[in-house]
Amino acid sequence: MAFPFKGVDFIGFDALLSEEERLTRDTARQFIEDNLIPIIEECNREGRFPRELVPQMGQLGFFGANLHGYGCAGMSNVEYGLVMQEFERGDSGVRSFVSVQSALVMYPIYTFGSDEQKDYWLPLLARGEKLGCFGLTEPDFGSNPGGMRTRARKVGDEYILNGEKMWITSGTISDVAVIWAKVDDEDGRVRGFLVETDRPGFSAYDVHGKWSLRASVTSGLSLQDVHVPVSNLLPGTDGLKSALMCLNQARYGIGWGAIGAAMSCYDTALQYAQVRKQFRDQPIASHQLVQEKLTWMITEITKAQLLSLQVGRLKDAGKAEHQHISMAKRNNVWMALECARLARDILGGNGITDDYPIMRHMMNLESVKTYEGTHDIHTLIIGQSITGIPAY
């Protein structure tokens, strides 16, 4: 049996939040409790994305939440982070869907798009009436996106795109794809393109056999002589740095999201330990080794909360650097995965069943540790920042 979530706040963290930030967090929390928690284990079991929740997500302003105008909610970055926390407390795959729609589709249109592109796409994406995906990773290039083979060739008033993309969230359910390609007549400079998924030559297929992010759609994309008008080029994109700016937005949300998964695992393990009895009819929470595990979890969650809040405050002040976001993503995902493993240990055999969310979070977090920059890549990003020497 699953336990009702009681919240996780050891040092009065909520007192550091404004009333509006707490209200935003609580709105997202109630949405997850009422709509996602009751169905997520079934979705995970069936490998099904709960698309029926998309309209309400749009109505509540969860898509592009920290963007302004175009029907977006205009939240602060801290508020947006708290929303991501609650979504990942529900499920990493569903949070991934919201992150992609927001940080990897709406953000590049908002930041690099023309007025016409923004006016058309952003309101539709904000309402969830159109869905998008982000095509950067390729079958042979993940951590090294600069090695991409996807090409764009300009012919008259069109670009012709050819290439393959892989591990693309929402690929087969998207109406538009943000595709990154090297432009032949610009000496291979990387540019972003909006590619409607119903264009001839564009195809998408689902990745099957996943043991992780099963409630999220993961796809491969193929572009075979796909013609798009010049007006579909994102005019503000200028090299790979533009794509990496988008990834930085997504990584920020992941840093917060991982805290939610850790909260779910900790809260479940704590409540379980208080009612599960072993040895002299005592709850296992009375045993030293169990208390040590719970203490480690709540300490690391608390540290992660403070780290993400500070990065969020810096981001709202326009002072967050990419290495700050890398630290939050790297630390918090590692922490959450360790919390999942410790929680599974406390639950014993029950921890591997989907009567509890532990194993689902653990499997999901294995992917979260890898995507949007692996744990090791973020280590090197931070290492370069503190030494001034790139090690990759």
Instruction: Respond yes or no: is residue 372 known to be catalytic.
Output: yes
The closest of 168, 167, 5, 200 to 85, measured between CA atoms, is 5
| C-alpha dihedral, 14 to 19 to 22 to 27, nearest 10° | 160
**Angle (nearest 5°) at CA 125 between 330 and 152:** 75
- Cα separation, 40 vs 167, in Å, equals 22
* DSSP bridge partners of 324: none
The count of other CB atoms within 10 Å of the CB of residue 7 is 10
CA 121 to CA 128: how far, in whole Å? 11
Tell how strand 189-196 and strand 202-206 pair up. Answer: unpaired
For residue 15, the 8-state DSSP code is G
The catalytic residue among 86, 300, 338, 372 is 372
| Region of 301 on the Ramachandran plot (φ > 0 left; ψ -120 to 50 alpha; else beta) | alpha
**Cα dihedral 11, 13, 16, 19 in deg (nearest 10):** -130
Q: Which residues pair with 291 in a beta bridge?
A: none
The catalytic residues are 372
